[in-house]
Structure 1
Amino acid sequence: MKKKFLSSIMATFLAATFFTGCGGSTATSQNSNSPKTLIFAQGSDPRGLDPAYVDDGESAKVIVNVYEGLIAYKEDSTEIQPCLAEKWDISADGKVYTFNLRKNVKFHDGTPFNADAVVYNIQRQIPPKAKEDMPYASFTFGEVSKVEKVDDYTVKITLKEPYTPFLANLAMSLAAPMVSPTAAKKSGDKMMENPVGTGPFKFVKWTKSQSIELEKNNDYWGTKAKLDKVVFKFIKENSVRASELIAGSVDAIDGLDPNDINKLKESKMNIFQNKGMNINYLGFMCSRAPFNDPKLREALSYAINRDELVKQLYQGYSDVANSPLPSFIPGYSKDVKPYEYNPDKAKAMLKELGKENLSIKMITYSNPRPYNPVNGQKLAESVQAYLAKIGVTTTIDVYPWKEYKDKLAQGEGDMFCYGWNGDNGDADNFLSLFDSKEIKSTLNSAKYSNTQVDQLLAKGRSTPNGDERNKIYGQIQDITAKDAPWIPISYAQSMAAYSSKVINFKVHSTGPIFFQNVDKN
């Protein structure tokens, strides 16, 4: 294990000399006499813009362009590279991480980025300062025992136990990015609407339900952005976003409805298409009746024809899921077997359980998501139709995204449509959604609890990457397939569309678009 750490450190140190910004590009900016503005349309407003207080992809899309973390992902993968930390060292026991920070970096408010800023950002998300509405705090920093300033540009983080995903977590777009301590102390909860980071773009304004405007950070420490402004425009309906792209009123969109793709191609729009690091699922509220009974969850799992549903809704742009993990994540098990479609068995089990006349409430979201491009209502209605065939009556409540997240956190509904876009390419990032300690943080939305799963997750986090760790995650997939806190539905392809005027537009495997290296003719 020590050799692996040393090899990683040397590779990271050598890589540091090649990067002039977290995006990893050494290209120079192009001069232009007129300001370049790119308008990007997404399905809804962010929940907020303080990375410590949000857990959704709509927020992350803006956050990654305003903030930066100690380390970052490379442009086309979840492989890590230096960012606000130039290099780091890991102790032989895997418990102490020492980060050497980049000098001469300033937050957008002009205050310096230094060791004090790092200590502030981490301390506010660990006890005793951590707050219950910080959804990623326990996931990202739960193993941190203490964080100390060694000198102005050196920080030491001590963990309670060795934690294999720790570096990958520090590159995530949520919780890990560094906010200006001065701005955070001054604005308090207003930081959610007035973000101040070190990134290549600065926040200008947020017009709720309409748009967020960012401008180029001319004092950025690395390669300056090529665009002068980026406007995030909020358009709920997929087809309307596609129409606006074709009409030229926006430059790029995400959340493509499969029904619009041919139309976009015929209009000479560019389509970004890649394997998505996500899972689209139907969840049961496991903490209370009726779905605290795993046998009832099993019965309803037999009622959903996932192959037919995925084919009809996603038209070849999503694959049927057999596991909470996408197939390319280390630890994925191709042998895990979710309950297959068998409506007769579902009816027989309902009768055996005395639930022939079961009535339930399902909640869902109105907008598209990276894991479900057709939107939550269409998925819920398809599930409702399958359940009706086995005699289950289902009512559906549909909410806008921000309100839906609140309703889900409050435990509303018996079943819910949801999903997850991976943050860091590590199996723990997906399977921690079954960790009982993440019920309080709301990441475990199904409120599922299994002691054996908790123990295996803890073992996986302290086990080095390799076959032993992968076997642990295989066991977790087998247990959760049997317990069925979720019905896994599909893995969506990562898709977006953009005008031919836009250059170097990419959706990162973790979901956001980093606009630092994007250009426009």
Structure 2
Amino acid sequence: MRIFKSRAVRAVTAALAVGMIATGCASERGKDDAKGGDKDTFVFAGAGDPGSLDPALASDGETFRVTRQAFEALLEHEAGGSKLVGGLAESWTGNPAGTVWTFNLRKGVKFHDGEAFNAAAVCANYDHWFNWKGTYQSSAVSYYWQKIMGGFAKNEDKEAPKANYKSCTAKDENTAVIEVHEPSANLPGGFSLQALAIHSPKAIKEYAKQAASGKGEAITYPKYSQEAGTVAGTGPYKIVKWNKGNKEITLERFDDYWGDKAKVKNLVFRTIATEEGRRQALQAGDIDGYDLVSPADVKTLEQAGFNVPTRDVFNLFYVGMTQEKNPALKKPEVRQAIAHAIDRENIVKTQLPEGGKVATQFMPDTVAGWSDKVKTYPHDTNKAKQLLAAAGEPKLKVEFCYPTEVTRPYMPAPQDMFELMKSDLEKAGITVTPKPMKWAPDYLDATEAGACALHMLGWTGDFNDGYNFIGTWFAKYDKQWGFKEQKVFDAVNAGSKIGDPAQRVDAYKKANEAIMEYLPGLPISSSPPAIAFGKNVNPPKVSPLTQENFAEVSFK
């Protein structure tokens, strides 16, 4: 998730003050509810602001955490796991070639605006995305559509990929058929993404009246995606208010929901940028839960009676190197020097919770396709200096972007992690220019546009297939990395169209070996993120994909 889904990182230097302000000013109602009012409101704190109320325009976990409660995709994942199950489609089938997908849809489902859900609604969504124009074709805006379905009916952006989406047909009211030109490892998993969740056709008509604008680091998102009132999904909650001043989004239970009704009437998502601010808010009863618990706080909270479940490892944190932003990074010796300079073991030891691991490649070892034969780059400052000298870059200067006002599952403390890496690089003789940027949308848009020479990002898997990790970054030219090494692209894509699972996994292993030989960036670590809930809360099942369903929450 994203890159980015998902994608990446969190908190800031001035974040403590921001977090405490957000907690103090915006939490009076939540405090009353949590401390014994009518308990009809559950308040949950995230580490960063969502970027959009329309998940199709997003690629980050903070946005999807909110929208997941209001929008549903054709497929979902089982509660607490990564197995694909029916969502708005009760069942689905794919033809042997993997190019025709038939969905048998649920009956009696309504959108929040009263519209009926049916096959025509499914096709209205897919055709809407396929026909995006202008700024919507920017990879920063339509990231997931491009990753899963390729380009558009008419590509206007020269860097947009070839369209793989072919058509959507409403075979009858409750049967939708989606066709693609070529089979893909991203399907059927991609049908479960929040970015491809289904919206009301009535709402889509309103969306079409507005447009995103700008490009690169200066994108303006359409008004409907920044204010509640237009977006409409089928989920157990509906979005009713976005108070940006108080960093709060409010959702209400949708009483016409087709499935099990939400147990709590109101759901509030609040942004508190720092770990300390979130912990103190929970302890004070200002909130009922929060994500991305500091590793140092887990035992303290548990001993005090709070619920602190830990998710399984399904993420990766990395340092990206954008070769087109800094030509020195085109030299393999320079990339290798950066890899040897950074002490990843120290980062894992000092910054991650128990169970964190040094990453040797661009997927965690919990994903099939992980290889034990990749080239490794152990910490060695002297070797880093030697490589820089051999490359003719003994006094390398590089800009290093990092995000503020956010925490991500793979990155509990972004600024602290940045400072450790900055120190490591400087010991090797590299001059680092820090560039802090607000997470959403500034940092996400900048990294997606290739505006940062070095940057920190990460990924929590969307679904359980190795291509969802390595295919996300290295299946083709991507501005975030700025390289055109066809051998890497070919190795990554070799497994994407293989039907046999064992052969596909073998191809992924070879792809990981090719990637780490070329070294487009440096995988740092994988981490089991913790999530905390109040003493009086019956929490939802926690998800390795960070896809918690808050309709499961109740108060004791």
Asked if Structure 1 and Structure 2 have the same fold, meaning a TM-score greater than 0.5 normalized by the shorter chain, the answer is yes
CA contact (8 A) 1:436 1:448 kept: no
**CA 1:202–1:302: 2 relative to 1, 3 Å:** same
Which residue does 2:345 correspond to in 1? 307
Aligned ranges 1:71-470 → 2 under 5 Å: 71-126=75-130, 131-132=137-138, 133-142=141-150, 143-173=164-194, 175-187=195-207, 188=210, 189-193=222-226, 194=228, 195-208=231-244, 210-288=247-325, 289-314=327-352, 316-366=354-404, 367-374=406-413, 376-402=414-440, 403-435=442-474, 437=476, 439=478, 445-470=480-505
Structure 2 unmatched runs, 5+: 1-36, 151-163, 211-221
User: Alpha-carbon deviations, 1:374-424, whole Å to 9, x = none?
Assistant: 2x2111111110011111111111122112112222322210111111111
Q: Following TM superposition, by how much is the alpha carbon of 1:352 offset from its aligned partner in structure 2, in angstroms?
A: 1.4
* Cα distance change on mapping 1:316 and 1:102 into 2, 3 Å: closer
What residue identity is the alignment partner of 1:222? Answer: G
- Bigger Cα displacement from structure 2, 417-426 vs 91-100: 91-100
Structure 2 Cα separation of the partners of residues 190 and 184 of structure 1: 13
CA 1:346–1:394 in structure 2 vs 1: closer, same or farther (change >3 Å)? same
Query: Is the Cα–Cα contact under 8 Å of residues 104 and 175 in structure 2 kept in the other structure?
Result: yes
Question: In 2, Cα distance between the equivalents of 1:266 and 1:88?
Answer: 45
Question: Shift in Å at residue 318 of structure 1?
Answer: 1.8
Contact 2:102 2:178 in 1 (8 A): yes
Tell me how far apart the structure 2 counterparts of residues 213 and 137 of structure 1 sit (CA, whole Å): 27
Distance 1:203 1:495, change over 3 A: same
Give the stretch that moved more between structures: 241-250 or 479-488.
479-488
Residue segments in structure 1 that go unaligned for 5+ positions in a row:
1-32
The one-letter code of the counterpart of 1:159 is: V
CA distance in 1 between partners of 2:113 and 2:315 (Å): 35
Letter in 2 for 1:353: A
Q: Following the alignment from structure 2 to structure 1, what is the Cα–Cα distance between the partners of residues 52 and 548?
A: 17
One-letter identity of the residue aligned with 1:68: E
Offset at 1:34? 4.1
- Alpha-carbon spacing, 1:262–1:419, altered in 2? closer, same or farther (3 Å): same
Quote the residue 1:13 is aligned against.
none
User: In the alignment, is residue 482 of structure 1 matched against residue 517 of structure 2?
Assistant: yes
Offset at residue 163 of structure 1 (A): 2.4
SS in 2 for 1:383: helix
**Amino acid paired to 1:214:** L
The alpha-carbon deviation at position 515 of structure 1 amounts to 0.9
Query: In structure 2, what is the Cα distance between the partners aligned to 1:491 and 1:103?
Result: 41
Q: What is the CA-CA distance between 1:438 and the residue it aligns to?
A: 6.2
For 2:357, the aligned partner's letter is D
Q: 1:244 to 1:82 in 2, by over 3 A?
A: same
1:258, distance to aligned residue in structure 2 (A): 1.9
- Output the CA distance in 1 between the equivalents of 2:172 and 2:329: 53
Measured in 1, the distance between the counterparts of 2:82 and 2:477 equals 23
One-letter amino acid matched to 2:465: D
Deviations 1:425-473 (A, max 9, x none): 2111101133354626xxxx32343212322333312112422111111
Offset of residue 343 of structure 1? 1.3
Percent of matched pairs sharing the same residue = 31
Secondary structure of 2:535's counterpart equals coil
Which of structures 1 and 2 has the larger relative contact order (alpha carbons within 8 angstroms, sep 6+)? Answer: 2
Give the letter for the 2:302 counterpart.
K
Distance 1:104 1:316 in 2: 46
Q: CA deviation at 1:128?
A: 6.5
- SS of equivalent residue, structure 1 residue 72: strand
Aligned to 2:218: none
1:27 aligns to what?
Answer: none
Greater shift, 313-322 or 388-397, is seen at 313-322
Deviation of residue 145 (structure 1)? Answer: 1.7
CA distance 1:128–1:54, change in 2 (3 Å): closer
Q: Is the 8 A contact 1:125 1:141 kept in 2?
A: no
In structure 1, what is the equivalent of residue 219 of structure 2? none
CA distance in 2, matches of 1:471, 1:431: 14
8 Å CA contact 2:477, 2:483 repeated in 1? no
Mapped to 2, the partners of 1:184 and 1:59 lie a distance apart of 19
